[in-house]
Amino acid sequence: MGTLGARMALVAAIASNQGKTSVTAALARKLARAGQTVRVFKAGPDFIDPMILERASGASVHSLDLWMVGADACRRRLAQAALEADVVLVEGVMGLYDGDPSAADLARAFDLPVLAVIDAAAMAQTAGAVVLGLRDYGPVRMAGVVANRIASPGHARMVAASLRDIPLLATLPKQAQRLPERHLGLVTPDEVAGLDAMLDALADQLELDHAAWEALAPRLPAAVPEPAIAPLLAGKTVAVARDAAFCFLYPANLDTLHALGAQLRYFSPLADEPVPAGADAVWLPGGYPELHGAVLARAARWQESIRAAHRASVPILAECGGMMAVSESITDKEGLTWPMAALLPGRTRMQARLAGLGAQGVRLDAGELRGHTFHYSQLDTALEPVAWTVKHPANVRGEAVYRVGSLTASYFHGFFASHPAAAASLFGGRP
């Protein structure tokens, strides 16, 4: 660890649901238990997988994305991680070549060797054709294969023989227990009973070819200077809702608010905690308010405190689940309707179909704030938007942005580090 750099790899697959998160978590936990310092990143916009990977590795998990985060910031994160750790893992998104930018674009931009996760439950020798196609289509530098859902040592030997010059770096048997999921992906770590035991079991069952792993030469990417951030929120206190209903926070967003000079104070609407006294701005991040409708509906102190902040013209940013919590009501998947804080005229309702997904940006007076959207609810409102996000890379209209007094609300999740001054403007920061 340190001047020699770290072994680095991007964990990818042919599609979603191949086991990338399980493999990345198992490898991170296995190496961390062996005494190595592990840093894990997640490619693309995501909130929930990083929570699982943070638990597996013992360190914060940041996002890497050439568009939303930016190439320089990605390189800076990777270089810092290589200085601090023995191992740097990046979990890909969807299939290796899916999206614009894709996980393959990320691998090529930073010369990250790829570990291909193959769900081998219903194949044997065909695994070689799949992996060779993944390698050559881009191409990418293929460092090895992790075969998931292997049935027996004989099955593993057949897969290994099919790979030609690519090593079978690890195998993982079929799991009796999977990481549980819901409509936005995996459930959050605090909701999974025995998660650490599950991660330990995955690490125990991951059969790692240590010689193949150690053949990955440690690397130390060149550092990129950190750009100066003007302290546009110096002296301001930003109250941040943070609990099981408001848990979708990029670590980089918190870092950016600190860099802007803000003091952060956390509070829990689920615990009926009011907005902290003296807060200069309030951030209501996304999460799962629809799962906690009854509790939030009874949280009278919280509801009155956010209304009081609104009456006092305190800047309030409500993102996705945060917007749902300040609408008039939420109708959950069971059809039950729960009254909310009603700062925003309109009602939100859950639906079975995905309502919004993908990278987007919004043009603010200070510049373009980039981010993404991912939601299964709809807001029914007669309120006219003050702006719209723009989808990337399609360059078509995306999510509505609403403003009611000091409240800014949207399904859009902003990545504050993409334009700190634009993010600061949402909390009352002025150049």
For residue 20 the two structure tokens come to: 């990338």
The DSSP output letter for 248 is B
Residue 320 designated active-site:
yes
Q: Is 22 left (phi over 0), alpha (psi -120 to 50) or beta?
A: alpha
6 CB-near residues (< 8 Å, 6+ apart) = 39, 81, 82, 85, 86, 87, 88, 218, 219, 220
Quick check: 116 and 109 in contact, CB under 8 A? no
Single-letter residue type at 39: R
239 — alpha (psi -120 to 50), left (phi > 0) or beta? beta
Q: How far apart are CA 358 and CA 396, in angstroms?
A: 12
**Residue 92, C-beta contacts closer than 8 angstroms, at least 6 positions apart:** 10, 11, 12, 13, 20, 43, 103, 106
Q: Which of 361, 356, 358 is CA-nearest to residue 375?
A: 356
Closest of 373, 367, 365, 349 to residue 403, by C-alpha: 365
Query: Cα separation of 415 and 68, whole Å?
Result: 7
Q: How far apart are CA 356 and CA 121, in angstroms?
A: 32
> Are 360 and 371 spatial neighbours (Cβ–Cβ below 8 Å)?
yes
Given the residues 79, 320, 343, 390, select the one marked as catalytic.
320
- Rounded Cα distance, 151 and 175, in Å: 10
Strands 397-404 and 387-391: antiparallel
Residue positions annotated with a catalytic role: 320
